[in-house]
Amino acid sequence: MTKYEIMYILNAELDEATRNQEIAALAKILSDNGAKVLETNEWGVRELAYEIKFQKRGYYVVLTLEASDNKATEEFKRLTTINKNVLRSLIVRI
């Protein structure tokens, strides 16, 4: 099993209920595609170094997961580029 770390930034203007739904939905994408989420760290709202999609602040979330192949991470990457609430994401194999 390969370990991955994913960091993504959500729109800071989302209310708490919507933000929690987004976090759960993104974790479900990974688990539905065979990955096991080991840890979820919510860093909270932080200032961005530069504007992304006209936003100056973002809500940071970091996931650690295990997956047997890259199917889960590729699907996560595909769906986060479509999702308007996700400002940016980064996937790193560790």
9-45 pLDDT, tens digit per residue, is 999 999 999 999 999 999 999 999 999 999 999 999 9
Report the distance separating Cα 16 and Cα 38, nearest Å: 23
54-80 pLDDT, tens digit per residue, is 999 999 999 999 998 889 999 999 999
CA angle 13, 22, 52 (to 5 degrees): 45
Predicted pLDDT at 77: 96
Report the distance separating Cα 70 and Cα 17, nearest Å: 30
pTM recorded for the entire structure = 0.93
Please give the helix or strand (H or E) that residue 57 lies within, else none: strand 55-67
Predicted pLDDT at 54: 93
Per-residue pLDDT band for 46 (boundaries 50, 70, 90) equals: very high
Q: Does domain 2-93 have CATH number 3.20.20.70?
A: no
Report the distance separating Cα 78 and Cα 80, nearest Å: 6
